[in-house]
Amino acid sequence: MPIRHYIDIDCPPRAAIGGEELVALLARWERAESIRAKFSEQYGTADESKMRFREKVTNAEGEVEKRELSVADLREECAALEEHAHHCRACPASLSGAPYSCTAAESFPISGAAEAWLVGQLPPAGSRALELFLDAALEHGYGENPRLIGWRQAGFLESPEPTKADRAGLEVTSAQVIEELFLVGDLMPQHLLGVMLHLGAMRASDGRTGDELLALIENVDAAASAEEAPTIDFGIGPDPADDESTRELKQFLFAGFRAFSLQAPLAIRM
């Protein structure tokens, strides 16, 4: 069960297919790709009609039953994706240029390395950015959600304990960050701005980050002109040492940055 997210803007594919239906079809397409890769590796076949498997489905009466189908059948179920994919070419929510790259997923379990990376991104002691994070964590009780505790008990979080760090005598934890990201519902633009600041995910084109960037954002209206104000870019880059879980979290934050830039929600689905 991955955590799926998408930049929630109005677009022709979503209007034609439906928002939830589009997410479901993309999950089916990913399943087709995964099964095709396994058959190709294990049996050396390229004929998707012969790549047959069984899956459990719920019928109209609410009963669970098994059905047999092929990868070719899955492709046919997802035909609407190909029909509308051309609309993605010029879409501002496209993150990679590929069709439907406004939508992605974070896999379970979230690794211990990824939790450690999240905590390492939190602002330093004494900064206003850390003060804002701690205020939000206290106000919303980040890290105390029973659902998050259940995730760890069920193995959705690889480490048995959250990663903790000290900020001048104040404890911050990966549980607080994970709740801020995934357990507050759809992320609205103002919330996304907080996430970007808390996790150092933005930088100005003139190099300003942290509290200097925060001051710039607060005083942007005081700039002499829009042309003179520096642009704000995504501030987190890839690292060859990242594990897959950390890479997915960075992609999630990039999607959040793009959603904030478009003043659109980042929808969260599980």
pLDDT single digits (tens) 186-229: 999 999 999 999 999 999 988 888 888 888 887 765 554 555 66
Pairing of strands 103-106, 266-269: unpaired
Structure tokens at 115: 């939790």
d(CA 36, CA 84): 23
Strand order in the sheet with 103-106: 103-106, 3-7, 266-269
Residue range 99-136, pLDDT digits in tens? 999 999 999 999 999 999 999 999 999 999 999 999 99
Contact of 215 with 86, CB cutoff 8 Å: no
Residue 270, SS3 per DSSP: coil
SS3 assignment for 120-137:
HHCCCCCCHHHHHHHHHH
Q: For residue range 15-74, what is the model confidence (pLDDT) as tens digits?
A: 999 888 998 899 888 888 889 999 888 888 888 888 888 888 777 677 777 888 888 988
Best CA proximity match to 102, nearest among 23, 188, 21, 177: 23
Q: What does each C-alpha distance from 79 to 86, 259, 261 come to in angstroms?
A: 13, 27, 31
For residue 196, the one-letter residue type is M
Q: How many CB atoms lie within 10 A of CB 60?
A: 5
pTM attached to this predicted model: 0.87
CA-based end-to-end distance of the chain: 7
Q: Please say whether the beta carbons of 82 and 129 come within 8 A.
A: no
